[in-house]
Structure 1
Amino acid sequence: MTRTIRTLAEIGGDYDALYCDLWGCLHNGKQAYPAAVAALQAFRRGGGKVCLLTNAPRPQQFVAVQLQRMGVPEDAFDVIVSSGDAAQDAMFQGVVGRKVWHIGTDKDDGFFDDVPPEHSAAEKVTRVPLDQAEGIVATGPFDEVNEVPEDYRDQLADAQARGLKMLCANPDIVVDMGETRIYCAGALAEFYTLLGGESLYFGKPHAPIYDLARRRLGLDDDARILAIGDGILTDVKGALDQGIDSIFVTGGLAAEAMGPDVENPDPGLMAEWLTGQGLRPTFAIGRLR
């Protein structure tokens, strides 16, 4: 049975480290949530470690700049681990070839241009048109606000017929940019799979990003870890697959299903919704605080 809590402090003392999602938990894509920032700061003052674990398709140094712009102070976390970090590592290993067709915006250029030191001697990965590509790298739609996966049907059908693999740099399906819901790379990868293509994932809920987080935090095998997030199929499923506890933030992506008060989910509606999802987080909270 999922236990509803009002604050992280109620249970935080039982854990050594947090894996905290960003979008929908710590910020809304435009500005930080002050109560969430304060909760993470308090956890760290109590001796805990915080990893900001995000499915952002950009390497962590670019995520850090965005967080600074949104007003997230550095004392709210210890490290950042992104889907971009884990997926970038795989890309430079050549999992989808060295000539790739990139689906995404200019803000994701760092995924290709900022080569990690451990791959400095690797053969270069070059972005090319689809008809010259050995594989696909998806960091998101070309136009996040207006495009949907169906807009890519013809191009992806051609890629599938050629047997190209897609590296998905962000397994999220959608996120909310303020009041606007936008599609992520995960929606493109899901659509490609439906067309018969092969999609490769490295962010939540898949193991590589959790392995990287544990290494960067320097956690022992017996560390008590708590995952926090608003994605039932990413944050909660990933925690369950890793055998760690989770807090489901109901006031994020699923807010409309939880009743009129975003800070206080309706118990009956939440129970019904979670039953429909077939996944049970350890805890639930309206908003991280």
Structure 2
Amino acid sequence: MGESAVTLLPRLSAITPRYDALILDLWGVVHDGVAAYPWAGETLARMKQAGLRLAALSNAPRRVGRVVAHMEAMGIPTRLLDVVHSSGEATFGALSEPVRHGLGTHGVRYCFHIGIPEDGELADEAGLRRVATPERADVVLCTGTIEPGETLEDHHAILQRCLARGLPMVCANPDLRVMHGPGWKLCAGAIATWYQEQGGTVHWFGKPHAPVYRRCLDELGCPPERVLAVGDSFRTDVAGAHAAGLDAVLVAAGLNAERLLPHGDDVIDAGALEALAARHGHRPEYAIARFVW
């Protein structure tokens, strides 16, 4: 994992014989948050036919059961996946054992939630009681925004109340933004980053942090050098893969599509790719236009 130029791939099948398993991002790779990409199912099937073990690792702020149900509702053949893990599942584990995960010396009981109501089930299932105001809480759980178009400024007032209370924040999705069909939605990572910059304490769960990769590698039963990570984010997918000792493929038709595929075709702008890699400080070994076999 050096500083050599990124290798541009026409298809993933060009390099997969070097690996025994893949860790796959979901948003921007397999689906856009609303619909599966037309080629995703065939790519997964061909990978399994080639004898590869497959793990899906998502920064979705929900538990694995809901991640799987979401994929199945889009027609994605989840039976082809050997492992599914999520930042939401990791968050649930931390909320279930708060002292062990450093959320307080005496644990937490009351949770103030920022995000769509159903994602607050992470707290409910961990045995915490959701409260309506930060002033009654021991911890703030941030799973994201409610509607596309929401901005950080929309949340400043409530976050200032959380800061005044000295609440630790649990971030269930380190992403800054996510694809939502043809548009974008602000993610919990953007809110948590601002909170931390203001002096608040944030506990992060999901990519690029090591525990979620360790769990996937343990369940895949493969050494890191034989596992390839596929994702569309320099900040989470590429950085997390490299920290875990994995090679990485960046999918251009995701978060950075406007920069990397400026003509709307499958031709990656190599100059833009190198510029983005330099800006983020993380250079993937490979890049591919789309998640195709």
| Secondary structure at the counterpart of residue 64 of structure 1 | helix
Is contact 1:21–1:52 with CA below 8 Å preserved after alignment? yes
Is contact 1:136–1:165 with CA below 8 Å preserved after alignment? yes
Q: Hey, what does 1:4 align to over in structure 2?
A: 8
Paired AA for residue 64 in structure 1: V
Residue ranges of structure 1 left out of the alignment (5+ in a row): 116-123
Is contact 2:248–2:284 with CA below 8 Å preserved after alignment? yes
Q: Hey, what does 1:279 align to over in structure 2?
A: 282
Tell me the distance in 2 between the aligned counterparts of 1:222 and 1:2: 20
Q: Hey, what does 1:40 align to over in structure 2?
A: 44
Q: Hey, what does 2:70 align to over in structure 1?
A: 66
Tell me the distance in 1 between the aligned counterparts of 2:8 and 2:178: 24
Structure 1 stretch 124-133 or stretch 220-229: which is displaced more? 220-229
Deviating beyond 4 angstroms after TM superposition, the runs of 4 or more aligned structure 1 residues are none
Paired AA for residue 71 in structure 2: L
Tell me the distance in 2 between the aligned counterparts of 1:28 and 1:54: 13
Paired AA for residue 226 in structure 2: R
Question: Aligned match of 2:271 in 268, 273, 280?
Answer: 268
Determine whether 1:101 maps to 2:104.
no
Q: Hey, what does 2:240 align to over in structure 1?
A: 238
**Sequence identity percentage:** 37
Question: Aligned match of 1:250 in 236, 249, 252?
Answer: 252
Determine whether 1:195 maps to 2:198.
yes
Determine whether 1:87 maps to 2:87.
no
Structural RMSD (CA) = 1.6
Mapping 1:15-164, distance limit 5 Å: 15-94=19-98, 95=103, 97-115=108-126, 124-128=127-131, 129-141=133-145, 143-164=146-167
Is contact 2:124–2:130 with CA below 8 Å preserved after alignment? no
Shift of 1:203: 0.2
Tell me the distance in 2 between the aligned counterparts of 1:39 and 1:22: 13
Paired AA for residue 170 in structure 1: N
Shift of 1:107: 2.8
Judged with a 3 Å threshold, the aligned counterparts in structure 2 of structure 1 residues 237 and 192 are, in CA distance, closer, same or farther, namely same
Determine whether 1:168 maps to 2:171.
yes
Q: TM-score scaled by structure 2?
A: 0.90
State the Cα deviation string for residues 136-195 of structure 1 (Å, max 9, x = none): 101112x23232122121221222232211000011110111111100111110111121
State the Cα deviation string for residues 36-77 of structure 1 (Å, max 9, x = none): 322222111111111110000000000111101111012432
How many corresponding residue pairs? 279
| Secondary structure at the counterpart of residue 253 of structure 1 | coil
Paired AA for residue 281 in structure 2: G
Tell me the distance in 1 between the aligned counterparts of 2:50 and 2:202: 41
Tell me the distance in 1 between the aligned counterparts of 2:50 and 2:33: 28
Is contact 2:217–2:224 with CA below 8 Å preserved after alignment? no
Residue ranges of structure 2 left out of the alignment (5+ in a row): none
Tell me the distance in 2 between the aligned counterparts of 1:133 and 1:156: 13
Shift of 1:2: 0.9
Is contact 2:21–2:226 with CA below 8 Å preserved after alignment? yes
State the Cα deviation string for residues 62-108 of structure 1 (Å, max 9, x = none): 01111011110124322210000111101111226221101111231
Is contact 1:104–1:140 with CA below 8 Å preserved after alignment? yes
